[in-house]
Amino acid sequence: MPKGRGLNDSVKEQLLVPAPHPATPILNPSTGTHEFGRFPEINSRHVKFPAGPIVLRHGQHRGPNSGFGLVHIWKEHFPVHDSVDQASSHVIGFIQNILRPGSKIHYESELGRRANRPLVWRNREGTAILELREDTDGPVYSIVTAFRSRGPVGFQIGSL
């Protein structure tokens, strides 16, 4: 191999590029913003949720059924892709198909940490689980995960 840059140099450079922070929001290519939708205010007899934007964060995957965001959805549900860069357009397209106007919002009546996790179900497209978080600008719904599903769980509390 000639002197200069070898394969190992290229691999070393890739390893030195820092990964985004898990909380880094992902840009929605359809809107040019970080919003993947708007969660409406829900004030029902059973549950109350404030209105706020729906965002996808870079996230992290801690293991089966543990993690959040783009990285978690890739590792858990799109493992055929070798990297998050390869998977991102597929994950984003999948999420966009779920988070459409008219998609139903359901709630499972969880307790504790998961009490603030509504889920959005869109027919055969799948389900997205959201988590209500407080951000510097107010309430934000972070996409925890998204997956194919046969039907919703819990009772319907609204629609996007």
Q: Which residue would you say has higher pLDDT here, 32 or 20? A: 32
Q: In degrees rounded to 5, what are phi and psi of residue 77?
A: -125, -10
Total domains, the chain: 1
Among the listed residues 30, 35, 33, 27, the one whose alpha carbon sits nearest the alpha carbon of residue 58: 27
Q: Has residue 7 been placed in a domain? A: no
CA dihedral (160, 109, 126, 25) in degrees, to 10, reads 70
Global pTM value: 0.83
Q: Has residue 2 been placed in a domain? A: no
Q: Has residue 100 been placed in a domain? A: yes
pLDDT digits (tens, 9 = 90+) for 50-69: 999 999 998 887 778 778 89
Q: Which range, of 39-43, 50-54, 75-79, 85-89, averages the lowest pLDDT?
A: 75-79
Q: Has residue 9 been placed in a domain? A: no
Q: Which domain holds residue 36?
A: 23-154
CA 7 to chain centre: 34
- Contact criterion met (CB below 8 Å) for 61 and 75: yes
pLDDT digits (tens, 9 = 90+) for 97-146: 999 999 999 987 765 556 667 878 777 789 999 999 998 889 999 999 99
Q: Has residue 14 been placed in a domain? A: no
Q: Has residue 15 been placed in a domain? A: no
- Contact criterion met (CB below 8 Å) for 145 and 94: no
